[in-house]
A and B are shown apart, each in its own frame.
Chain A
């Protein structure tokens, strides 16, 4: 995945989570829905943040299979 794509997806997840927070505070959406958005959003945010931040994307390699 390109770093620019990872960054865009990370921002989308952050905005959706922030929006859910605002809507839950305003009483527009129920609390459980806000928490459900965070349950789905937090892992995606962590991984996209890492994919944006990572040094580089390496080539696939075969793991060490033992002697």
Chain B
């Protein structure tokens, strides 16, 4: 598990680097090398580090540990075929952690990012309703059961494409430069992570790498099923490339528009799930 955990973190950072590179190439810029995010994590590790004078010291440091810890737990739940509900609970915890990041520093930009994190949670988390469509088909929310169901009946991606689209939107909203990335949009500098620099930012980068890997692996496990490991990695790259196209071509939405669009999609998903429940 330890080598796989380290690999997942590094590969997640590499995926974020591929994402940045793809966005740059789509916008006809050279862009950074694909391993830029790994270099970022390393670079921040040997920067000068301190806690801002206005910060709540305990919260400022502990949110970094909690952020990495919860995604490590999510990773283990996922690879051991545990419950999908736990992964979603961890996703919700992450929104609280983002809020903690923002509020801990005493910086107004961090606070704005933290507040936006709560606003976006109100519209992102209901998107998980789509996964009840998975339960309707498989009769379980255990990832091992969902994978076993798909081994017999084929990928759920083809059976419930709208549910897959909803989870894709959740992943999209967690990617940098996404239309829904209101928690770290440029008008609030870096949002909730503005004042976390040096070693603290390196920890946050580690969390981001692991989070990216976990979210993409969740998507593949739930909607594609068991595929060879190299296939998983290639599929992750394909999803990241598709996300890069969306991020490069769509403008970042204002917080109000972001929440409105996600809420409308959640409404459509509710009708879809009710339809599946009644007639599926």
Q: Which residues of A contact B (CB under 8 A)?
A: 17, 21, 31, 34-35, 38-40, 42-44, 46-47, 49-51, 53-66
B residues less than 8 Å from A43 (CB atoms): 64-69, 72, 203
Name 16 A/B residue pairs within 8 A (Cβ), A-sorted: A21-B2, A38-B2, A43-B203, A50-B199, A50-B202, A54-B46, A54-B47, A55-B48, A57-B49, A58-B48, A58-B50, A59-B50, A60-B53, A63-B54, A65-B108, A66-B108
Check B199–A61 contact: CB distance below 8 A: no
B36 interfacial contact with A, CB 8 Å = no
B1 interfacial contact with A, CB 8 Å = yes
A residues less than 8 Å from B199 (CB atoms): 47, 50-51, 53-54
The answer to whether A54 and B49 touch (CB under 8 A), given A38-B76, A63-B107, is: yes
Check A46–B53 contact: CB distance below 8 A: no
What is the interface of chain B mostly: helix, strand, loop, or mixed? helix
Extra contacts, 8 of them, besides A39-B73, A43-B68, A44-B65 (Cβ < 8 A), are A31-B80, A43-B69, A47-B199, A53-B45, A54-B199, A57-B48, A63-B110, A63-B194
What is the interface of chain A mostly: helix, strand, loop, or mixed? helix
Bound-state CA distance A42–B65 (Å) is 9
A residues less than 8 Å from B2 (CB atoms): 17, 21, 38
B276 interfacial contact with A, CB 8 Å = no
Check B107–A64 contact: CB distance below 8 A: yes
The total of chain B residues at the interface (CB under 8 A) is: 38
Bound-state CA distance A43–B97 (Å) is 14
In the assembled complex, how far is the CB of residue A38 from the closest CB belonging to chain B, in whole angstroms?
Answer: 6
Check B195–A39 contact: CB distance below 8 A: no
In the assembled complex, how far is the CB of residue B198 from the closest CB belonging to chain A, in whole angstroms?
Answer: 6
Check B107–A60 contact: CB distance below 8 A: no
B residues less than 8 Å from A31 (CB atoms): 80
